[in-house]
Structure 1
Amino acid sequence: MFKLGATVHYWGVKADGLTWLSAEAMTGRIIGRQREERNYKIEGQSGSVHDVPEKLIDEGSEV
């Protein structure tokens, strides 16, 4: 589990029921969590907010 405000690396986002994967890790800040779906709300570097499944966040990537 990641803490609110932590900066992490993630490998994709979830939108409209689909998961979009990225070839490069993206960096963002955790701003919320949806426990029942095991998703995190992450604010990307551009300021956009994404739903990211927990499994797409690097283990131990808090910086």
Structure 2
Amino acid sequence: MYKAGETVRYWGVKTGGLTWLSAEAMIGKVIGQQREERSYKIEGLSGTIHDVPEKLIEGGSEVKAG
């Protein structure tokens, strides 16, 4: 489980019911959680907000933004 404000690495996003995977990790900050969907709202480095399934997220203190 990830907390609001935590910086994480994620490998894809969910858009319009489809999950788009990325070959490269993206970094963003958790801004919210959707428990019933097991996903998180993550603000990317560009400022865009994405829905990210929990299984596509890596967290931890080693992740640094910028």
Please report the TM-score for the alignment, with normalisation by the length of structure 2. 0.90
State the percentage of identical aligned residues. Answer: 70
2:64 maps to which residue?
none
Gaps of 5+ in 1: none
1:7 maps to which residue?
7
Residue pairs, 1:23-62, within 5 angstroms: 23-58=23-58, 61-62=59-60
Alpha-carbon distance in structure 1 between the residues aligned to 2:48 and 2:33: 16
Q: What is the CA-CA distance between 1:62 and the residue it aligns to?
A: 2.3
Pairwise CA RMSD: 0.6
Which SS does the other structure have where 2:55 is aligned?
helix
- In the TM superposition, structure 1's runs of 4+ consecutive aligned residues that sit over 2 Å from their partners are none
Gaps of 5+ in 2: 62-66
- Kindly provide the amino acid, as one letter, of the partner of residue 62 in structure 1: G
Question: How many pairs does the alignment contain?
Answer: 61
